[in-house]
Structure 1
Amino acid sequence: MNLTIKQLQILQAVVVAGSISQATRSVGLSQPTLSQHLAKLEEELGTQLIVRGKSTAIRLTAAGEFWFRIANDVLGDLGGAFEQHKVLFDDKNLSLRFGTTPSLRSHFTELTARAALDTGQISRVEYIWGATSDEVAEMVSTHRLNCGVVSASSIEGSRSSLHVENLWCDRLVWLVPADAPDDAVGRILAGAQFKTPKFEALTRYVKVNSALTWSAWSDDWYRHRLPFASPFFTCMSHQASVDLVAAGLATCHAPISLLHNLPPQIRSRVKYFDLGEYAREIVLIMPRHLLSLRPFKMFCDTVSDYTRRMMMKEDTTGNRSPAQPPMTEACLID
């Protein structure tokens, strides 16, 4: 039998991405080349691993499930061996590759840089941002990142191979322009706004990236609360959505954690309302095998402990619209 590491990497990447086409970016190969590698792996094993159909999504056979677990174990052990080698024999080249999403980036850039320096053994930090938590989680699972901060819903299929630290529950809030009439906003929140309001920004909203786990919830909220509003704008990032609201053009949903890091000139032009309906759980993830290495464990503990303390402080001291009560449940929806 002549299996290669590359074949196992491709199998893992395809399963994690959910389709052959989606895996092309993570492994840097074209779709035909990926398919050829998978076909050669199946030929070598003498069995089918992936069921290919008209749908772009893939389905694993029993043998495919078995070899996917093997791929995770082998690649995880190999990655751990390389990192252990750096610690034992090449301590000047121990690198940290950290990733998160644009809405969470400002919370972690300085923190992770200082935590890496404090270990005294990490010599290089590389930051790689993903458009969504799913993308960041995929990069951690395929070893392009060795640490990331994501929404917990993005790691449901890969928790067994990851060390997970719960950080905080990130509530979603409704943002409106600062000059939006309080009476109209109050009627909308009370479910009593049945006519199109005169304030034009309330008749438009920003549709978030459809790949986000809470995109469907946001659309449903607008259908029920603002049936007269149209998704006039579509944005890939929360920051861009908030910019449109600050310009007085629309309303949007955004994670409350984003608001703490808005520039003063933007934050002063919006007001937000804690709806108490939806929260995403934010977690730090790292491949389990890296926790056996002191620099990575120290980094993980420092970032997790500091983040939990700061978010608890912000949650108790941060401003919240007096018209809306605080969310009392820990995390309604992940």
Structure 2
Amino acid sequence: MRWNDLYIAGVGTYLPEQVETVDEAIAAGRYTEEKKAMNGYRELRVAAPGETGPVMAAIAGRQAVERSGLSHDEFGLTVHASLSHQGLDLWTPASYVQANTVGGSGPAFEVKQGCNGFMAAVDLAAAYVGSHKDFSAALVTAGDAFHLPYFDRWCSEDQNVNGDGAGAFVLSNKAGFARVRAIYSYADSTLEQMSRGFQEWTTMPFPNGETLQLNRSMEDYLQNSDVDLDEMVAKIAGGVQHSLKQVLHEAEIELADARFFLHQQLAETIAQYGICGLLGVKRESTTYDWAKQYSMVGTADLALGLDHVLAERDPQPGDLVVMQSSGAGYVWTAAVVEILERPSWV
């Protein structure tokens, strides 16, 4: 979707104080030297008791709203994205975020789209802001905390390491420090079973009290004789390439025109071959090496990356930022953002 009147007016982030390093996890028997060498993560942040995903998202959201300079009555939508358990069962974390940020009577929606949740939420909020002219802004947040015994941040997945934290954007149809030129989302539902495997359905979450092992579903899927591994990899690579190609076309730019490329904080091998190698992205244009100190922060990586670019990478008016994310399902979202001015808070 090409946009002419969609802006980012504020960015907010929150990271817990406690730091846990890869070496500490190895010493505790929760990680291995082999995974350290393969995946490249250095450390991450660990949420304190009570710092649930929505609690952290509300902190990041308040910062984004304050930085935007917009009043609460200008907001007509709140969208919250997450991966992890949100602190309680069968409740509405998006409404909690709304109540603790902008309030009001606009709707609050929750997006669950795996690792792509935040950018999917941005895409949905953009359409809402663009079509509803009775208000001028939307708050989009993401917040996750990964705790035992439900989830082991170090070994519930072979490649990803999961840190805690949150991020937020304020979208506006009037003004902002950056203009969103285009957003494009693309899905390949033939890959849905890849993250489900062939397991039997359960009647409740966490039925046996065991720590989640996301690799189990993948291994189950790959062991099926009907699965073509090469075809699966080609589809995933194709989705990344297609979503990027389409958003660049809609924004009327080439990849080389962008000064910054923001992607999720994936394992080193995936970032090197599945992003930089596959797409021709220059690693120095990313925030990847900087963000190794946080690992993969749920769905909030791109908000953290943009906040870092604004604060530390000296963006100039006219600079273009490409954002790319993906999530199981399988869904990809890409966006092109143009910096209009240095934001007032930098």
Superposition TM-score, scaled by structure 1 size: 0.26
Bigger relative contact order, structure 1 or 2, given CA contacts below 8 A and separation 6+?
Answer: 2
Structure with the higher fraction of residues in helix conformation:
1
User: How does the TM-score come out when normalised to structure 2?
Assistant: 0.25
Q: Which entry has the higher C-alpha Rg, 1 or 2?
A: 1
